[in-house]
Amino acid sequence: MPAFRRAVEYGLGSEFDVHLIADGSLVVFHDDDLERQTGVKGSIEAYDITNLRKLRLEGTDEVIPEFDDVLDLYENTGLPLLIELKCVKGNYKALVKAVAERLDRYKGEYVIESFDPRVVIEYRKQRPDVIRGQLSQNFFRKSEGLPFYQIVLLTNLMLNILSKPDFIAYKFSDRDTPALRWLTDRLGYPELSWTIQSADEYRTALKIGSIPIFEQIRPEELKELIK
């Protein structure tokens, strides 16, 4: 939460990941496994909110935020949110339903994105007016344990014909992937680049007409970049 509060202080929107955990609560956390950031092994989806609140983030007193915590902070700020839905073990329908119902009460600006095309398809079914994005990367370079057929489908964004995303968010270092370039340069899909980590990358993303999703760039430095 201190990072989100600092972003609001500097007038910045945020990108973050949402998980649906065992008791139906929605929480904001990047990884599927808890160990890297809490020191405790196990899937975050297996926890209920009471036990999850007992864990601490990276040796601090901070706990894993609930989705409500972040939405309450950003509501009425006028700052946009880029909300990634993390599907685990095929829970995409329940995840989409829970997120969509909570966002029905949210008054701020937001868009939805996911690596899982089923999430994008389901969100389109449940809330067709909400802007949706397809996340991807070149999985031939880093397979993430996926079977070959999924590597082909996801790298080349072949399921876009079903998911009909409004934008594509692709790994910045994989931006030369032919399928991405064809969809953005030829067909006009809006492109977002993740994750930008330096001023040079930020400038390059802007130069090619992509919207940067960034981290590790100081707000003071960002002001110079966007002049």
The candidate with the shortest Cα–Cα distance to 223, out of 199, 206, 207, 204, is 199
Confidence of residue 221 (pLDDT cuts 50, 70, 90): confident
pTM: 0.95
Asked whether the beta carbons of 71 and 109 are under 8 A apart, the reply is no
Residue 55 · residue 63 · CB < 8 Å:
yes
**Could you tell me the end-to-end alpha-carbon distance of the chain, in angstroms, rounded to an integer?**
28
| CATH class as words, domain 1-119 | alpha beta
Residue 227's pLDDT band (boundaries 50, 70, 90)? low
Round to whole Å and give the CA distance between 134 and 164: 9
Confidence at residue 224, expressed as pLDDT on a 0 to 100 scale: 78
Tell me how far CA of residue 220 lies from CA of 2, 128, 205, 223, in angstroms. 17, 38, 19, 5
Residue ranges covered by each domain of the chain: 1-119, 131-227
Q: Is the peptide bond before 50 cis (omega within 30 degrees of 0)?
A: no
